[in-house]
Structure 1
Amino acid sequence: MTGTRPWTPCPHAGPHLQADSLRAHWSRLHRGDAEPLPDDPRLLDGWLLFHNGDFQAAAEHGLHLGGDGLTLANKAACVHASYVEAHESARLQRWLAAADQARQQQASAPDNPNAWYWQAYALGRYSQGISVTKALAQGLGGQIRQALDRALALAPAHAEAHLAVGSFHAEIIDKVGELIGGMTYGARKDVGLAHYARALALNPDSAITQAEVAQGWLLLEGDAAMDRSTALLERAAAFEPLDAMERLYVDSARMALQG
């Protein structure tokens, strides 16, 4: 997955957390993905690399460990590709590699919800990269939806999976319309809004949840959602981050406000 070429450095890399502070803040940092605090100190070391913004080292560490380390590897690759990597070809390659790695993890750990979630996330980002319309024509929409359904069946309180389902409906409706989206792909405005509401209820103090929901509201409701979308983005932009990951999320919210 990582290849030999160095990844673009994260602008927020640094010693934000130590092992003890990571344990103390684990619940907040992983409320969205429902990843449990690892018992293995070697895996915790890998997550420390991740939260301190050394995403390539974190991904390599997770791949080396295998098992639950694959979740670390996939999250590191996906977050880096989504929020740091500037080269489109590298982003697309990294998302596809993470999706493939997640499928392999599913074979050995079919009851791990994040094995399914990171497949869906990676394919969703890849779909945005090549255009949602093209991705739907390639059948990726069905793969994403099946993976998200499985993740939520295993972890009904997985806030980021609810967020991803909301975005699944919003992206399709935005690209092909509500009628065709509903008839062809099962995309529905009310279902998307319900999943966004659930994500906010489960993880209300997350900059990424706030930013993604704000943008999803605009896709689903247009100008009618402008005021509350802007207010939610402003909350995300004012968020006080704990680690490199949260700093990237705040940057994303601020860019959305500017755009």
Structure 2
Amino acid sequence: MGRWTAFKPRGHFSYTSQTIKKQWARLHAADCVPLPDDADILEAWTLFHNGYFEEACQLGLALDGAGTTVANKATCVYATLLEPNEPERLCLLQSACERATAHTLSTPEDPNAHYLLAYALSRYSRGISVAQALAQGLGSRIKNALETAIALQPRHADAHFALGAFHADIIDKVGPLIGNMTYGAKRETSLQLFQSGFALHPHSPFGLVEYAAALLMLEGDTQHAQATKLYRQAAALKPLDAHHYLKISLAKNGVPG
């Protein structure tokens, strides 16, 4: 794999290992990652929040199991939001899927091991055909991983948003009848999961963008005005870090991510 495309504007965020501690609760309100005791892991997360995704991934991988969460988060965010080459994107997501799968087995009590497995699988499935995704059983794996993450950490807002998006996406792809019979996907469940997520994290750019996309998948053009309103709400937010910056940039263009 080649060098990763740099986050721009580079240097826009300048957290240090000390200043990031003061913002940790805000930065991780949606995924409940605990503040690391290990200085190297904290440094990897500092690199991630500043937009140095490749460096964060490399440092996380060098720390073996302890750095898997930040390495996988950096890979997924980069692949989804910055990598311009589709084959390279899929390759990166595959590697994250493999690491996350191993992580769920070695650390089954970590909700973010399961959440990031679902994140990697869902973004990978978007890059292949529906038939391929169904044949590989990705839908069931995504759903199980997200439900496990929520069971382990009920305050994991991002997992609620992602599972709500999953239900909407399944219904959009295969229809409500087959979606319900095969995956238990329901419109009402999707909407309830989003409301649960917003109760935990009402100003999440991820949640707002995913909810807008879900409404369009579930209701079509009748929700165009509401989706536009949600995108505008996300676009008006002040980014806390590079990941937020990229999500908010998508919202400004009305693009789900």
TM-score of the two chains, using structure 1 as the length reference: 0.94
**Cα deviations across residues 90-119 of structure 1 (Å, max 9, x unaligned)?**
111111111110111122211001111111
Could you say if the C-alpha distance between residues 138 and 107 of structure 1 is closer, same or farther in structure 2, counting changes exceeding 3 Å?
A: closer
1:28-107 equivalences under 5 Å are 28-107=26-105
Partner residue, 1:246: 244
Mapped contact 2:158–2:206 kept (Cα < 8 A) = no
Partner residue, 1:10: 7
Q: Which runs of 5+ in 2 are unaligned?
A: none
Q: Distance in 2 between matches of 1:189 and 1:204?
A: 21
Mapped contact 2:7–2:82 kept (Cα < 8 A) = yes
Query: How many residue pairs were aligned?
Result: 255
Q: Which runs of 5+ in 1 are unaligned?
A: none
- Aligned-pair CA distance for 1:131: 3.1
1:1-259 equivalences under 5 Å are 3=1, 5-14=2-11, 15-256=13-254
- Aligned-pair CA distance for 1:45: 0.6
Q: Distance in 2 between matches of 1:246 and 1:134?
A: 31
- Aligned-pair CA distance for 1:257: 6.1
- The sequence identity of aligned pairs, in percent, is 46
Q: Distance in 1 between matches of 2:78 and 2:36?
A: 22
One-letter amino acid of the counterpart of residue 11, structure 1: K
One-letter amino acid of the counterpart of residue 69, structure 1: G
TM-score of the two chains, using structure 2 as the length reference: 0.95
**Structure 1 runs, 4 residues or longer, greater than 3 Å off:** none
